[in-house]
Chains A and B, each alone.
Chain A
């Protein structure tokens, strides 16, 4: 090839074509996706928790997408119904994920509704799941001699914290668990606020 313009325009054309097909057309197709009636927007605390979830990189090991039964054991494992585009209308950034080093969390709030379980699991994952390779997040908590006004005390099994100390969930642990508990996609994704789909 000896034409500058051929390479230049060819390069622009191929990548533009890919943009139109992979991004443009789906944007058009997904434009009329509406929020399901059963899906609430994130509260301020949940949104804060989601930002923390993102900043700690939880999504590198936990997907947020349940595949159809023809494509895996997701639903059989109790991870919920297959996810639909409607389930993500409030998600920015999307956290679909590409790894399941840990389980899918699309419905973790349904599967594990206990705040205490989540606190313990975040404080020391191996306290509740001995096989786990998840990092521990002790910096979201505080060990105190005595709880203060407004503190949320974590019920710990014997031996986890030194005698005479209490484990207190810090504000970050609290919003993170708020977010995890809000992860419930157990509604009908096609039943929108406007009535029938």
Chain B
């Protein structure tokens, strides 16, 4: 193993460290809270839209009177609200909060980051409004029309300026792994977003651009920032460093190299050059390396301390998210194999996989981050710890029902689709009970989000009982 000291935050004397963290949190308070408030609103909007889209499979003539609420638009509004509203705004909030603490410098020009949050919301309101009204670029994950995309490009630029200048003024010698992920994500996202939105692509080549972007929006943006958050939260709550510096290094660079090449597995069997698909399949399988490195690193950090899950909402959500990351990534590698993909491609199986990733992995870690960060920003403990248990179990039950239903239903759908003797009607019919179960799972998740949003609202208004201990830590000596 290594002699490189694993520096979590280059450690000054405790009282200096604490006062620096307080200063860092004070500098990020306004922009981070604005990102978080917005993220919670987009979570509610996005889950309502998602549930509506799901219910349309049970009631296809419901809300069919105008184009505004047709499935194709509601589904798209859902994706954009949860991907660019909830996940992205929450992840950016976490990164903006985390980085000043990790580099021991207050946020540079917080007003820029605050303006970024305002611009980001403007982009979403106009963008999702445009989609519902029927104005779209027509590419999955890139639907919002590119003139409106310019707004988020400017907002993202302001945010990145604020963060990168903070890093430039750092007092630490080392960058902690969370900073690598956050910095890299802030380099990656603008590159893929601008490139894919250039109005120069067409034909099957555009299909490749589309999925190079689509999968990297997940891999190099949502995944990178979520892992950065998990790398911060797990050791922080446990009070012990990440087990292996080298494993985090391997995990980071292998993810950077392999994930970026994954995208074309969305076109397996499609009319693009076969070698191109093979490259993406190979890279998808190679994802086992960063995933295993990260999983082993998290697990050995947690080792012997799993009991702490009962006493920290942050840890419960984050560790659940990290475990699901391992599961969903290994599933993704398997799904990219041609033999598996023959069955699962074009089915609800993929939809289940996507939700396990963005919800079971990224959103669970984000919930964990909220439970850790918000008390430090509003100087108030979560007033109703029981609501956090409701949130946790409803969310976990919701994604479990959702994922299991679509995995089974999608597989049956795919197997029937492969058999030309099975009429298409039977392919559709076999999915129906599983699509009902999907609506049930979605309802549970929406319920979880209502609980969470209500509790968050109490929290930022500093309502409810004033508590002196962190949630779930009752009766435990300060540890």
**Residue numbers in A under 8 Å from B204 (CB-CB):** 30, 85, 88, 94, 96
B137-162: which residues lie under 8 A (CB-CB) from chain A? Answer: 137-140
Q: CB of B136 within 8 A of chain A?
A: yes
Using CB atoms, name the residue of chain B closest to A97: B346
Whether B67 and A56, one on each chain, are in contact in the complex, defined by CB atoms closer than 8 angstroms, is yes
Instruction: Report how far A14 CA is from B264 CA in the complex, Å.
Output: 16
**Residue numbers in A under 8 Å from B187 (CB-CB):** 8, 11-12, 15
Binding-face segment, B311-319, B422-430, B462-470: B422-430
Q: CB of A26 within 8 A of chain B?
A: yes
Whether A1 and B180, one on each chain, are in contact in the complex, defined by CB atoms closer than 8 angstroms, is yes
Instruction: Report how far A83 CA is from B140 CA in the complex, Å.
Output: 20
Instruction: Report how far A20 CA is from B267 CA in the complex, Å.
Output: 18
Nearest CB on A from B265, distance (A): 11
Given contacts A8-B183, A73-B420, A139-B65, contact A96 B212 (CB under 8 A): no
Task: State the main secondary structure of chain B at its contact with A.
Answer: helix
Whether A88 and B220, one on each chain, are in contact in the complex, defined by CB atoms closer than 8 angstroms, is no
Interface centre among A8, A12, A22, A72, by most chain B C-beta atoms within 10 angstroms, is A22
Instruction: Report how far A15 CA is from B135 CA in the complex, Å.
Output: 30
Q: CB of B417 within 8 A of chain A?
A: yes
Binding-face segment, A130-138, A142-150, A156-164: A130-138
Instruction: Report how far A134 CA is from B248 CA in the complex, Å.
Output: 47
**Residue numbers in A under 8 Å from B276 (CB-CB):** 22, 25-26
**Residue numbers in A under 8 Å from B75 (CB-CB):** 57, 60
Query: 0/1 per residue, B218-245, Cβ < 8 Å to A?
Result: 0010000000000000000000000000
Given contacts A8-B183, A30-B203, contact A59 B138 (CB under 8 A): yes
**Residue numbers in B under 8 Å from A77 (CB-CB):** 420, 424
**Residue numbers in A under 8 Å from B432 (CB-CB):** 133
Whether B212 and A133, one on each chain, are in contact in the complex, defined by CB atoms closer than 8 angstroms, is no
Q: CB of B192 within 8 A of chain A?
A: yes
A8-51: which residues lie under 8 A (CB-CB) from chain B? Answer: 8, 10-12, 14-19, 21-23, 25-27, 29-30, 33
Whether B270 and A135, one on each chain, are in contact in the complex, defined by CB atoms closer than 8 angstroms, is no
Whether A21 and B279, one on each chain, are in contact in the complex, defined by CB atoms closer than 8 angstroms, is yes
**Residue numbers in B under 8 Å from A194 (CB-CB):** none
Whether B202 and A137, one on each chain, are in contact in the complex, defined by CB atoms closer than 8 angstroms, is no
Using CB atoms, name the residue of chain A closest to B260: A18
Instruction: Report how far A71 CA is from B271 CA in the complex, Å.
Output: 12
Q: CB of A166 within 8 A of chain B?
A: no
**Residue numbers in A under 8 Å from B139 (CB-CB):** 93-94
Q: CB of A65 within 8 A of chain B?
A: yes
Given contacts A18-B216, A131-B425, A135-B60, contact A27 B270 (CB under 8 A): no
Instruction: Report how far A93 CA is from B139 CA in the complex, Å.
Output: 7
Interface residue tally on A, bucketed by range = 35 or more
Q: CB of B109 within 8 A of chain A?
A: no
Binding-face segment, B41-49, B249-257, B302-310, B368-376: B249-257
A58-114: which residues lie under 8 A (CB-CB) from chain B? Answer: 58-61, 63, 65, 67-68, 71-73, 76-77, 82-85, 87-89, 91-103
B322-378: which residues lie under 8 A (CB-CB) from chain A? Answer: 338, 342, 345-348, 350-351
Whether B347 and A100, one on each chain, are in contact in the complex, defined by CB atoms closer than 8 angstroms, is yes
Instruction: Report how far A12 CA is from B183 CA in the complex, Å.
Output: 11
Instruction: Report how far A9 CA is from B313 CA in the complex, Å.
Output: 37
Instruction: Report how far A85 CA is from B276 CA in the complex, Å.
Output: 13
Whether A4 and B167, one on each chain, are in contact in the complex, defined by CB atoms closer than 8 angstroms, is yes
Nearest CB on B from A41, distance (A): 13
Whether B60 and A132, one on each chain, are in contact in the complex, defined by CB atoms closer than 8 angstroms, is yes
A117-145: which residues lie under 8 A (CB-CB) from chain B? Answer: 124-126, 129, 131-139
**Residue numbers in B under 8 Å from A131 (CB-CB):** 425, 428-429
**Residue numbers in B under 8 Å from A8 (CB-CB):** 183, 187
Instruction: Report how far A95 CA is from B136 CA in the complex, Å.
Output: 13
**Residue numbers in A under 8 Å from B207 (CB-CB):** 94, 96
Given contacts A18-B216, A19-B212, A73-B417, contact A133 B60 (CB under 8 A): yes
Q: CB of B125 within 8 A of chain A?
A: no
Whether B60 and A98, one on each chain, are in contact in the complex, defined by CB atoms closer than 8 angstroms, is no
**Residue numbers in A under 8 Å from B61 (CB-CB):** 124, 135-136
Q: CB of B184 within 8 A of chain A?
A: yes
With beta carbons under 8 angstroms apart, the residue of B168, B271, B347 that contacts A65 is: B271
Q: CB of B2 within 8 A of chain A?
A: no
Q: CB of A155 within 8 A of chain B?
A: no
**Residue numbers in B under 8 Å from A19 (CB-CB):** 191, 195, 212
B388-440: which residues lie under 8 A (CB-CB) from chain A? Answer: 417-420, 424-425, 428-429, 431-432, 435
Of all A-B residue pairs in the complex, the 7 with the closest CB atoms, nearest first, are A57-B72, A76-B420, A18-B260, A100-B346, A93-B138, A73-B420, A54-B138
Given contacts A22-B279, A99-B351, A101-B348, 10 further A-B pairs with CB under 8 A are A8-B187, A11-B256, A22-B212, A30-B205, A30-B273, A33-B203, A54-B136, A68-B269, A72-B418, A83-B270
Ordered by A's residue number, 14 sampled pairs between the chains whose C-beta atoms are within 8 Å are A1-B175, A1-B180, A4-B168, A7-B180, A10-B184, A22-B276, A23-B195, A23-B208, A26-B276, A59-B72, A85-B271, A92-B202, A98-B140, A133-B432
Which residues of B approach A to under 8 Å, CB–CB? 56-57, 60-61, 64-67, 70-73, 75-76, 134-140, 167-168, 173-175, 180, 183-184, 187-188, 191-192, 195, 201-210, 212, 216, 220, 249, 253, 256-257, 260-261, 263-264, 266-267, 269-273, 276, 279-280, 338, 342, 345-348, 350-351, 417-420, 424-425, 428-429, 431-432, 435
